[in-house]
Amino acid sequence: MKWLTEEEQATWRAFLDATTLLEDHLDRQLQRDAGIPHMYYALLSTLSETPDRQLRMTELAERTKITRSRLSHAVARLEGNGWLRRESCASDRRGQVCVLTDAGYEELVRTAPGHVTAVRTAIFDRLTPEQTAALGQISRIIADGLHEPHGSDVPWLR
């Protein structure tokens, strides 16, 4: 086994601190402004960017990297708010489609400016343009290395 060097260990811990603090920062902002965690906002945002503001539940889980059970719970909560609804899939009777309602879209539009401000102040206002480009490149390299092909045995794709 090859252990982390001191520099790698310091980088790893800084990365963990930054990602944990960032997720907490975004959760607090969204709880305050919309009463939902960041993961729920990601569902609304993802659906808002799709044709007809809808996706099959399996594809929504894949895109947001959420397990089916967590997705089902989140969708039920957002359905209770009137922001999402589930419909039967026209092409597969066993499948379900998740639809962003007009009320959900309006909530997203209302909440988005505060969320963008939270992201900007937490990340981009602190970085130079060169650091922003490097962060994007590094993040894509890490994500690409961890991404599993469609249909794999990754838990969030089951």
pLDDT band at 149 (very low <50, low <70, confident <90, very high): low
Cβ(62)–Cβ(150) under 8 Å? yes
Full set of structural domains in the chain with CATH: 22-126 (1.10.10.10)
In the beta sheet, which residues pair with residue 86? 98
pLDDT of 147 higher than 90: no
pTM of the predicted protein model: 0.85
- Residues with Cβ within 8 Å of 115's Cβ and at least 6 positions away in sequence, in order, are 26, 29, 30, 33, 41
**Position 91 confidence tier, pLDDT thresholds 50, 70, 90:** confident
